[in-house]
Structure 1
Amino acid sequence: MKKFTTYKIEKEQDGFVLETYLKQTLQYSGRKIQKLTRKKGILLNGKAVFLQKKVKFGDTLRILNVEDAAYGVEPEDGNIAILYEDEYMLVLNKPARQLVHPTGQTTSGTLANYLACELQKRNIVTTIRPVHRLDRETSGCIIFAKDSRSQFILEQQLKEKTLKRTYWALVSGIVGPASGTIDAPIGAHPSKPNRRAINQLGEPAITHYRTVAHYTDTSLVELNLDTGRTHQIRLHLAHLGYPILGDGMYGVRFSGMLRQALHATYITFRRLQDDTEIKVQAPLPQDFIDAMEVCKKKEKAILPNQ
């Protein structure tokens, strides 16, 4: 039997076009509206309705509950670290060297596979929906939405910059100036398809940075993203002249760490149920802490000039 959720049109929504009501008030994505339309899952006062119909104060709108039928990935038993969870989303602490989601020929062993198994154990069936991505070697905070509406709202927060991502990176050199903004568009690499390059015809890319500490010939840098281009932080720091330690693609080799020294330390967002600002932290992994100690051994940390 089909299940519907019922909404009453309020005075302030009188005269709204139905499609506008669905997008602005219920915050449904265009994709979900199309899916509901195909399933004849939108009823206004008990009757099927066109999306351009205007709603009136007191109207009754019934929306079909479209449930996911599968996870989208194969559930696989594995460890996940949950940093935050509510009825709409989770923030996980991704280990280094693990893919977020199956890609190419890799179909197992990803964070998405492990999360699907965790939800399966709870008898919850929902498509696994990462809201953003982290490179395989990058550790730290990553958000998964529990349903399509939550995914859409969180993606809107990303666009509106109320969902903020903060990273820490160990880089080669003493960063100067100690803080600033990197505004350099990113596009395809002219000869290497798995890389990106600074390209004036590419997509806009903006990274804000500040030095947390510096050592003899390395710096610990905090970064915040306005955009989320592939390899953005790694490429921007290399472009600035301070490549990430251990980054085999854009950075420099570093004996103190066997992967790129990049960690998604914090993520800040507006909680969906009440719009409260929430800040979640992923503790530094041991290999990052060890790498910092290697840098400190050369010279005691010196705080940058403010």
Structure 2
Amino acid sequence: MRYTTTSQEIFETFCISKTHKKHLKIDEEKKTIYFNYPEKDVEINYEPVDILYENTFLIVAFKPPFLLVHDDGNNQDTLQARVNGYLQLNQNKYPAQAIHRIDYETSGLVLFCKHPFFQAYCDKNMEEHHIKKEYIALVQGHTNYKNKKIISNIARDRHNAKKMIIHPNGKESVSIFNTLKNYKDCSLIQVTILTGRKHQIRVQCASLNHPILNDSLYGGKKIDNTGLLLQSHHIQFNDVDITCPQEKRFIRK
């Protein structure tokens, strides 16, 4: 990879650690970086995967409901394994790593880093909330949100390891809610998350007495078997600006 700034500036910009520096060779005269990262054993699956965006360092894939993003030790068919199967078939040298995750029954966009040089930079931007993520959800009842800012302290439920709760000692969680459309007995809403807590949108919707449909964990009414009616709908990061189509399972009359 060629560059136009100093090596030190590149290391600082891309958050390159001492460990990662060992896998780089810098030719100052030619202004070129040579990569020598070790090979990694990763899960590969050649099931079809819907790729919505790809550049040299990043890739955005669509995750259907009922598929894990990462391997949990029991399931080898994950979105990450499918992305790496796709990359291997296209002769990409390095496996991809998901920069964030969405729940098993949630669908939508997941952003991956496809080069280890860029991974720390992506992780830092995620940690500092520079990666914009918007969701859509079908919730119970009628809502009338207009840039409604929801601030909650979210913590793990001591009585249910699978569940999160609003608790004074929890971590601050911030979202912006907007109503897109009201149907007969539910509403389609858009949620922009400014933090990334586990089950953040699900907990906040339930706290507003508008749980997400099919979310039995947080009191949502089960209306069908299509999974949690929550979709990672839009991602914006650097030159990535992707919105995915709304799935048929969200259509209501």
Q: Flag whether TM exceeds 0.5 (same fold).
A: yes
Percent identity over the alignment? Answer: 27
Q: Identify the residue that residue 28 of structure 1 maps to in structure 2.
A: 15
> Within 5 A, what are the aligned runs for 1:1-306?
18=8, 21-25=9-13, 27-30=14-17, 33-37=18-22, 65-70=35-40, 72-106=41-75, 108-271=76-239, 278-289=240-251, 292=252, 296=253
CA contact (8 A) 2:144 2:178 kept: no
Q: 1:118 to 1:68 in 2, by over 3 A?
A: farther
Q: 1:267 to 1:8 in 2, by over 3 A?
A: closer
Q: Paired residues, what number? A: 253
CA distance in 2, matches of 1:97, 1:259: 7
Displacement of 1:178 in angstroms is 4.4
> Which SS does the other structure have where 1:219 is aligned?
strand
CA contact (8 A) 2:68 2:78 kept: yes
Greater shift, 165-174 or 142-151, is seen at 142-151
CA distance in 2, matches of 1:267, 1:94: 13
Give 2:16's aligned amino acid. S
> Which SS does the other structure have where 1:185 is aligned?
strand
Larger radius of gyration: 1
Give 2:21's aligned amino acid. L
> Which SS does the other structure have where 2:142 is aligned?
coil
**What residue ranges of structure 2 are gaps of 5+ in the alignment?**
none
Q: 1:43 to 1:98 in 2, by over 3 A?
A: closer
Displacement of 1:128 in angstroms is 2.4
Give 1:286's aligned amino acid. K
**What residue ranges of structure 1 are gaps of 5+ in the alignment?**
46-58, 272-277, 297-306
CA distance in 1, matches of 2:120, 2:66: 28
Displacement of 1:251 in angstroms is 3.3
CA distance in 2, matches of 1:284, 1:8: 41
CA distance in 2, matches of 1:186, 1:282: 28
CA distance in 1, matches of 2:38, 2:94: 5
> Which SS does the other structure have where 1:205 is aligned?
strand
CA distance in 1, matches of 2:165, 2:196: 14
CA distance in 2, matches of 1:73, 1:43: 28
- 1:178-229: CA deviations, max 9, x gaps? 4411111211111111211112212221111100011233111000011111
Displacement of 1:145 in angstroms is 0.7
TM-score where L is the length of structure 1: 0.74
Q: Identify the residue that residue 304 of structure 1 maps to in structure 2.
A: none
CA distance in 2, matches of 1:177, 1:167: 14
CA distance in 2, matches of 1:123, 1:270: 25
Displacement of 1:62 in angstroms is 7.6
- 1:223-246: CA deviations, max 9, x gaps? 001111111111111112110000
Structure 1 or 2: more strand by fraction: 2
Q: Which has the higher contact order (CA 8 A, sep 6+)?
A: 2
